[in-house]
Structure 1
Amino acid sequence: MSTLRFHAIKESLNRKPIKIEEKTRRSELFGLNVFNEDKMRQYLTKEAFNSVMDAMQNGTKIDRVVADHISTGMKEWAISKGATHYTHWFQPLTGSTAEKHDAFFEPIGNGRAIEKFGGGQLVQQEPDASSFPNGGIRNTFEARGYTAWDPTSPAFIYGTTLCIPTVFVSYTGEALDYKTPLLRALQAVDHAAVDVCKYFDKNVKKVNASLGWEQEYFLIDRALVASRPDILLTGRTLLGHSSAKGQQLDDHYFGTIPNRAMQYMRDLETECMLLGIPVKTRHNEVAPNQFELAPVYDEANLAVDHNSLLMDVMDKVAERHDFKVLFHEKPFKGVNGSGKHNNWSLSTDTGVNLLGPGKTPMSNLQFLTFFINTIKAVHDNEELVRASIASASNDHRLGANEAPPAIISVFIGEQLTSVLDELQNVTNGKLSPEEKTDLKLNVVGKIPEILLDNTDRNRTSPFAFTGNKFEFRAVGSKANCANPMTVLNSIVAKQLIDFKAEVDALIDEKELKKDEAIFNVLREYIKKSKNILFEGNGYGEAWEKEAKKRGLSNHKTTPIALRAKVSDKAIKLFEDLGVMNKIETESRYEIEMEEYVLHIQIEGRVLGDVARNHVVPTAVRYQNMLIDNVKGLKEIYGAGFKKLAQQQMNLIEEISGHIEAINSNVTKMTNERKKANNLEDFEKKAEAYCFNVKPIFDEIRYHCDKLELLVDDELWPLTKYRELLFTR
Structure 2
Amino acid sequence: GVASASNDHRLGANEAPPAIISIFLGDQLTDVFQQIKAGGANSSIPKGTLTVGVDVLPPLPKDAGDRNRTSPFAFTGNRFEFRAVGSNQSIAGPLVAMNTIVADSLEYCATKLEEATGGDPSKLHGELQKLLTEIMNEHGAIIFNGDGYSDEWHAEAAKRGLLNLKTTVDALPVLETQEVKDLFTKYEVLSERELASRLEIYLEQYIMSIKVELNLTVKIAKTMIFPAAIRYQGELVSNCASLKMLDYDFDTNTLDKVTELVKALQDGIAELEAAAGGESEDMLSEATHCCHTILPLMNKVRATADELEGIVADDLWPLPTYQEMLFIK
Q: Does 1:666 align with 2:269?
A: yes
Q: Quick check: 1:411–1:534 contact (8 Å CA) kept in 2?
A: yes
Structure 1 CA distance, aligned partners of 2:123 and 2:309? 72
Q: Does 1:543 align with 2:146?
A: no
How is 1:455-534 mapped onto 2 (pairs within 5 angstroms)?
A: 455-508=65-118, 513-534=123-144
Structure 2 CA distance, aligned partners of 1:623 and 1:726? 27
Structure 1 CA distance, aligned partners of 2:303 and 2:9? 16
Structure 2 residue matching 1:471: 3-state secondary structure: strand
Counterpart for residue 604 of structure 1 = 214
Counterpart for residue 188 of structure 2 = 578
Q: Quick check: 2:68–2:145 contact (8 Å CA) kept in 1?
A: yes
Q: Quick check: 2:31–2:45 contact (8 Å CA) kept in 1?
A: no
Counterpart for residue 391 of structure 1 = 4
Structure 1 CA distance, aligned partners of 2:243 and 2:46? 80
Counterpart for residue 294 of structure 2 = 693
TM-score calculated relative to the size of structure 2: 0.90
Structure 1 residue matching 2:263: 3-state secondary structure: helix
Structure 1 residue matching 2:81: 3-state secondary structure: strand
Q: Quick check: 1:506–1:512 contact (8 Å CA) kept in 2?
A: no
Give the deviation of 1:605 after TM superposition.
1.0
| CA displacement 1:23-43 (0-9 Å, x = unmatched) | xxxxxxxxxxxxxxxxxxxxx
Q: Quick check: 2:218–2:269 contact (8 Å CA) kept in 1?
A: yes
Structure 1 CA distance, aligned partners of 2:144 and 2:65? 17
Structure 2 CA distance, aligned partners of 1:448 and 1:579? 41
How is 1:338-349 mapped onto 2 (pairs within 5 angstroms)?
A: none
Give the deviation of 1:528 after TM superposition.
1.0
Structure 2 CA distance, aligned partners of 1:453 and 1:597? 44
| CA displacement 1:139-168 (0-9 Å, x = unmatched) | xxxxxxxxxxxxxxxxxxxxxxxxxxxxxx
**Sequence identity (%):** 39
Give the deviation of 1:423 after TM superposition.
1.3
Q: Which of 409, 417, 421 is equivalent to 2:30?
A: 417
Q: Does 1:633 align with 2:243?
A: yes
Structure 2 CA distance, aligned partners of 1:658 and 1:510? 78
How is 1:280-299 mapped onto 2 (pairs within 5 angstroms)?
A: none
Structure 1 residue matching 2:118: 3-state secondary structure: helix
Counterpart for residue 55 of structure 2 = none
| CA displacement 1:345-365 (0-9 Å, x = unmatched) | xxxxxxxxxxxxxxxxxxxxx
| CA displacement 1:195-233 (0-9 Å, x = unmatched) | xxxxxxxxxxxxxxxxxxxxxxxxxxxxxxxxxxxxxxx
Structure 2 CA distance, aligned partners of 1:565 and 1:484? 13
Backbone CA RMSD of aligned residues: 2.0
In structure 2, what residue type is equivalent to 1:657? E
Give the deviation of 1:508 after TM superposition.
0.6
Q: Does 1:404 align with 2:17?
A: yes
Structure 2 CA distance, aligned partners of 1:553 and 1:409? 10
Report the structure, 1 or 2, having the larger strand content. Answer: 1
Structure 2 CA distance, aligned partners of 1:511 and 1:471? 35
Structure 2 CA distance, aligned partners of 1:657 and 1:531? 50
In the alignment, structure 2 segments of 5+ residues that lack a partner are 49-60
In structure 1, what residue type is equivalent to 2:104? K
Give the deviation of 1:654 after TM superposition.
0.7
Structure 1 CA distance, aligned partners of 2:29 and 2:201? 40
TM-score calculated relative to the size of structure 1: 0.42
Counterpart for residue 312 of structure 2 = 711
In structure 1, what residue type is equivalent to 2:206? Y
Give the deviation of 1:670 after TM superposition.
1.7
In structure 2, what residue type is equivalent to 1:635? M
In the alignment, structure 1 segments of 5+ residues that lack a partner are 1-387, 427-438
Counterpart for residue 161 of structure 1 = none
Give the deviation of 1:590 after TM superposition.
0.7
Counterpart for residue 684 of structure 1 = 285
Counterpart for residue 617 of structure 1 = 227
Give the deviation of 1:511 after TM superposition.
7.3
Size of the aligned set, in residue pairs, is 316
Give the deviation of 1:510 after TM superposition.
7.9
Q: Structure 1 residues 613, 555: CA separation in 2 closer, same or farther (over 3 Å shift)?
A: same
Q: Quick check: 1:462–1:474 contact (8 Å CA) kept in 2?
A: yes
Give the deviation of 1:452 after TM superposition.
7.9
Structure 1 CA distance, aligned partners of 2:140 and 2:102? 17
Q: Structure 1 residues 448, 540: CA separation in 2 closer, same or farther (over 3 Å shift)?
A: closer
Structure 2 CA distance, aligned partners of 1:653 and 1:538? 43
